[in-house]
Structure 1
């Protein structure tokens, strides 16, 4: 059993928070979802991003997601791994110094980190991607490049692993992304 921290905020992508939150618990891990300025029991609003043939994704209202831990006082050293979902939340979460310090802890300690879609915006802002290959939604590619990382060519339903870092372009990659993250975590699932 691993203790996993998940960083979320209002308008996190619905599937990218709900699916890993539930799937990681299903296999026996403890997952604490936190949001700056909110406490356990508070909710964040989510958005569903869909791929309908337009030049970019469409956005629709999602569910309200209940937080199960409080951000204030979060001690990253008490966690074995980090999950950073996408959506619009990363664009403003990356402005929070405490969020960036949490991210830096996981990289400095070489703990497993999973990020998807726009989640790598936070990793880029934390300065942890230099020399790393990191998949993301294509619009995040410039953020990754500017901070010294590279954006590998990964299909929308694929995932990329670079050491302790597991990334993917968007929620259609959940099977590949979660499988790769479970491997990095050392989780064994037997049929």
Structure 2
């Protein structure tokens, strides 16, 4: 079965792990992923930030990597994609103010295409009015944002129809697993062959 074509919306100071890990993992199982950012072209980069949890009341933020975009936001057509991925970090705080970002999210939701969102991505979901009446996870400090948008906050990874949400990068394994289920991805584990065999 051929892989799906996925769109990932990223921005400056998006969370490093929440961009890099799903971007690579989804490709590793055969999907094609286009990473885009408003006002940037394919080949441009966004700066990432690493959110670390060290026992403080909230996360510690440090500079991450330069992440290369694979396509230009202005050139993509959401109708060409099977699913959407929205990482967290600080980027959603400003990305939610782009009308074109909101329109892309609403397209995927209106067409009942899978949407995977994690951590602060709930800020974009709330701005796009796709949380109301649904169970949604997010970074714990966004519980009031989820509830204010008419959703029911869930403290863990959850799937509600086409929407798969998680709290932060610590949820990656379950979040990506549930997203793969919604995508209909089948992974066949064959016995590994070593050089000694």
TM-score class normalised by the smaller sequence: over 0.9
Check whether the contact 2:53–2:60 (CA below 8 A) recurs between aligned residues.
yes
CA distance in 1, matches of 2:138, 2:155: 10
Find the partner of 1:176 among 174, 178, 185: 174
- The SS at the match of 1:72 is helix
How much does 1:120 deviate? 1.1
Name stretches of at least 5 consecutive residues in structure 1 with no aligned partner.
none
Q: Deviations over 1:70-107 (max 9, x none)?
A: 00132110000000000000000000000000000000
Across the two proteins, how many residue pairs are aligned to each other?
A: 187
- Correspondence 1:66-145 to 2 at 5 A: 66-145=68-147
CA distance in 1, matches of 2:61, 2:182: 31
Q: Is it true that 1:48 corresponds to 2:56 in the alignment? A: no
Find the partner of 1:163 among 114, 137, 161: 161
How much does 1:148 deviate? 0.7
Aligned-pair Cα RMSD in Å: 0.7
- The SS at the match of 2:136 is coil
Name stretches of at least 5 consecutive residues in structure 2 with no aligned partner.
190-197
Check whether the contact 2:105–2:125 (CA below 8 A) recurs between aligned residues.
yes
Find the partner of 2:7 among 5, 8, 16: 5
- The SS at the match of 1:119 is helix
Q: Deviations over 1:86-139 (max 9, x none)?
A: 000000000000000000000000000000000111010000111011100011
Name 1:152's counterpart in structure 2: 154
Q: TM (normalized to structure 2)?
A: 0.94
How much does 1:142 deviate? 1.5
Moved more, 136-145 or 170-179: 136-145
CA distance in 2, matches of 1:133, 1:77: 26
How much does 1:147 deviate? 1.3
Q: Deviations over 1:4-40 (max 9, x none)?
A: 0000000000000000000000111010000001000
